Structure 1
Amino acid sequence: MSNKGMIIRECEHLNSARRVLEGRIDCDMFFRSICGDLLITGMEAGNKEMVLSLVRACMEKRDVSTIVLTSHQELAALIQQDQNRRKSGAVRVSWPAEKNYHPFYGMSAQQMLRFVCMTAEEMGYSSMAGQVMIYAAAVLNIVSTEYPVSLPAVVKLLEEDDDFISELALQQGLSNVIADNIRANHEAGIVFRRLLERLEEIFENIYVTGSDTKYNLQSGCKEKLDGMVIYASSGSQRIFNAYLKEEIFQTLKDVPKIRILLDEMEFADENDELMRYIMQLKRQGRIELIVISQNVKESMKGNADLDFANVVLFQHGTPAATEEISKALFGTYQYHKPMPNAVKPPALLFTFQRAVNWQIQSEERLRVRSEDLSARPGIFGRQSDYLAVKTTANNNIYFIHTADFLKNTGYGLTVV
């Protein structure tokens, strides 16, 4: 064998460490087959039918309750329609068309007071926070003697004036101090009512004022619902996400594990409470996390932990964005290629002929480059774009036709 042939074969052997193959599978079978955390990122992550297929696969497992937090009303509508059509499983959807959520139900008075304080800061009432908290604590004491603490229960009581509320406290056998705190803080009471109005606005996409459904994530998991879907977009995303963090914390007191699906979830900033808490739970193995985003680094404010057992990488808006995320997900490898090296052969006679000696040259490359996912030329024109997937089954990465993956072809994952 020539020197060139030997070098080419050696390069092929060394490049096999890349472990990239072509495969074929549709999204329905893929979502039913995998287990563990999943990340889907790229432009096609916005395909609602694909996300519906994923949600359906999660709920059909019936191993743990699935909580879907989405910023897309279209997805909430599709899940609701799918549930009505299939009439199987127990799924609850909370969105503007069905406002069935019960904020703060099952939480403690101290937890609710924290959000009163956060809302006061947001609305510029920090100077009155001390008086407002005294008044609010007294009201929550009164509510808790008869009902579980919740937003609608507190709002209902505050429809009455302070004299009625303080008299009620005495009738319930509470301390005179509580009644005095109500009567002596009339101005704080006015501010507290404004803060509760603001809290109701924060939940207005999933909650109707005064509703007493007794349904939230905690109660849904206790009832062993297959899925709970929340349209998680709010006028104050910071407070809303902090509330969801508390809800998940309370929920995990009653159940050992849940599945959380974040569909283009909006986070307030890089210090968002919900984002940091969910990533902590993922590392602890207390949740199975599924993240869907057209650009995961952008949506997670650059703090994304991209260590996911299963990955689907579509093309992003630019090659640079695709390769930045590809490097974080799949890493790099040493690419080897044959290079000619022309030298003058040793000879006694003068000659113009030069021998060509082939040698191996190496460079660092991404395991998945942007050009790998681009449409490729074929006999009948340019072929379909590709996506890259990686699963827990092995360390291989598979290139799959995007059209095949999204059109439910029914193929199993096979190496071609």
Structure 2
Amino acid sequence: MADQDLSRLKIDRSAMAPAPRGRRRWLRYAAIAVVVLAVIGIGARLAGPQAVEVVTVSSAYPSQNYTLLNATGYVVPQRKAALASKAQGRLEWLGVLEGSRVKKDEIIARIESRDVEASLAQARAQVQVAQANLQLQQAELRDAEVNLRRSETLLAPKAISVQQYDADLARYNKARASINNSQASITSAQANARSAEVSVEQTVIRAPFDGVVLIKHANVGDNITPFSAASDTKGAVVTIADMETLEVEADVSESNIARIIVDQPVELLLDALPDLRMAGRVSRIVPTVDRSKATVLVKVRFVDRDPRVLPDMSAKIAFLSKPVPPEDRKALVAVQPAAIAERDGKPVVFQVVDGKARQVPVTKGARVGELVAVQGVKPGDTLVLAPADKLSDGSKVTVAKK
């Protein structure tokens, strides 16, 4: 029994016999491949993200294909007025605020007018005095005329002396002259009354045209002195503008003015309303050059109007070769051509999301200026510019600093 137990403790070396030569070579290659793959995996984990340049997807309009020249300018009203009065005095009533709409001849403000109203009352009283004097002189003329006719009747039979007749004739002529004097006095008094009425009317400030109040320069209680720069006084009371006459003024370099003609179509983009593109036409070209800037002033009228457009808004003007058709008024999603790559024969872009490049298939469209219209991304997306061939979906990227 002891011998049998000891025999179980022997090592069977027949199982450790060397493997065939071909099998040993295969095992060696497999071990090397495992090591290489491990090294590659470690290298990939240790390698940093790729540095890439990026661009942003934007909105573009097909009208850019018709653009001959771009310029910048400002919205200005063609008809604008600072309202004041010839009268001098204290502002006692103001009926408008900034933004108020006024009609032509509507009363906007009043200046104190008690002194000129008193002058008007005095002038009207002088008219009445002159008219009363005329009535008195007319009565005198009638009496003198009756006496003269009586004297003429009595003179023939020599019932009165020639001296008496001459006195009656002189009285009659004097009465006629007094009538002319009274009539002239009435005319003078009426002229003075009209002058006083004008002075009173000048204390009332009226709107010269339909418009909107842009600026309120004075308040009730301020002294209005339009022809003086005295301390603590105001000149204009309000400034109004006719909003129907808004236009855009742009300074165009004199070297480019030959590319602009009157009635040329333009497209207007206001900085305050970036989603609104309005049609316009060249209204006129001011026939003079600003020597200090070497520019010519071009004025553009609105064809499309919007109530949100206000004076002094900054605007971009695109001078076009032809009007924009309705189908080209809609914005397109566009990118730089260099952002589009090919993978498996199909156009794609690489969108940067959370530090990784995400491959997005797109459909290419027509060119819009220097950009290309695409479908599959939206404005504001960040794309890799000129993606390298080794860039793949999911690659880690970092934005290169310029």
* TM-score class, shorter: under 0.3
Rg comparison, structure with higher value: 2
Q: Larger % of helix: which?
A: 1
TM-score (norm 2): 0.23
User: Higher relative CO (CA 8 A, sep ≥ 6), structure 1 or 2?
Assistant: 1
